[in-house]
Structure 1
């Protein structure tokens, strides 16, 4: 099946499966992970928690995509539950297997 996903023009190219994540955004733009399903309230299409980081945003690694549930978990919680943000961030890191390498098998062309 073919699908078109929208990515920032400056997004890095998708790495090969198993290679370190480079923030290309292909995986999260194609469908949300289990954590993203809760935030996006959908199982298809781009994840609502997918964040674009411009180069020079004051942190290392600009010009790439990042998971908002990891980087800004409080943003996705109601005000009364923002105290849960650290736990949500840790859970999201485990959910997306952060640091384990690219697990997206999609081919980009």
Structure 2
């Protein structure tokens, strides 16, 4: 990752917990989403582009959350009544709960 991208990611995630070790439980540090949007976001969230922070990053209670898992209807322009089921499917596709997948220094 270029130095300017590191600085951007560090600035975005400064108020969040430090990035956990690769494979450890996610703590909401936001590193992966600040570095770039995932494939789901790039395909479905307007404004999600490679090399930019994911527009579906949500910060609450001192950590980042995936907006596509929490409230996908908001980002997809759909009614919220399907958020729980759709969010669970998106979370499964993203590997939510499987551990940190950002294998970087």
User: Normalising TM by the smaller chain, what interval?
Assistant: 0.7 to 0.9
The question of whether the paired residues in 2 share the 8 Å contact of 1:36 and 1:47 is answered with yes
Equivalence for 1:23? 28
In the TM superposition, 1:60-75 aligns within 5 A as: 62-75=61-74
The CA deviation string for residues 16-38 of structure 1, in whole angstroms up to 9 with x for no partner, is 10000000000000011111112
In the TM superposition, 1:65-104 aligns within 5 A as: 65-78=64-77, 81-82=78-79, 83-104=81-102
The question of whether the paired residues in 1 share the 8 Å contact of 2:28 and 2:65 is answered with yes
Equivalence for 1:44? 51
How many residue pairs match? The answer is 97
The TM-score, its normalising length taken from structure 2, stands at 0.80
The structure with the largest helix share of the pair is 2
CA separation in 1, counterparts of 2:48 and 2:97? 25
The TM-score, its normalising length taken from structure 1, stands at 0.77
The CA deviation string for residues 51-82 of structure 1, in whole angstroms up to 9 with x for no partner, is 011xxxxxxxx20000001112221122xx32
Structure 1: segments with no counterpart, 5+ residues: 54-61
